[in-house]
Amino acid sequence: MDSNPSQLPDRLITDRLLTYADAARYLGLRESTLRAKVLARTIPFIRLGTRATRFRLSELDAWIDSHRQPADTAANDQAVEKVG
């Protein structure tokens, strides 16, 4: 199988393992913030041996979705009324 990501099945791309640097960049966080979340066990991660930590892309997407906040439609309506 070719290692070119465009040649990989979708399942393998979404289950790709990311390093701290890649995961932090993907989430828009500093690496230190991501490390703190791992220490607090507030984000899903995979420990490979005693030193390597990785993050499954599909689990990061699920984690992001679990932190989604619904829009407050009443506040949005009031903002539109003030502008309009």
* Residue 46 confidence (pLDDT): 96
pTM of the predicted structure, to 2 decimals: 0.68
The DSSP code for 12 is H
Is the predicted pLDDT of residue 23 greater than 60, yes or no? yes
* Residue 80 confidence (pLDDT): 63
Q: Which CATH architecture best describes the domain 5-83? A: Orthogonal Bundle (1.10)
* Residue 81 confidence (pLDDT): 66
Q: What torsion do the CA atoms of 24, 45, 50, 1 make, to the nearest 10 degrees?
A: -80
Rounded Cα gap, residues 75 and 63, in angstroms: 26
* Residue 38 confidence (pLDDT): 97
| Contact between residue 53 and residue 59 where contact means Cβ atoms under 8 Å apart | no
| Contact between residue 58 and residue 25 where contact means Cβ atoms under 8 Å apart | no
- Give the closest residue to 60 by CA, choosing from 73, 70, 45: 45
Query: Could you read off the pLDDT of 30-71 as tens digits, one per residue?
Result: 999 999 999 999 999 999 988 899 999 999 999 999 988 887
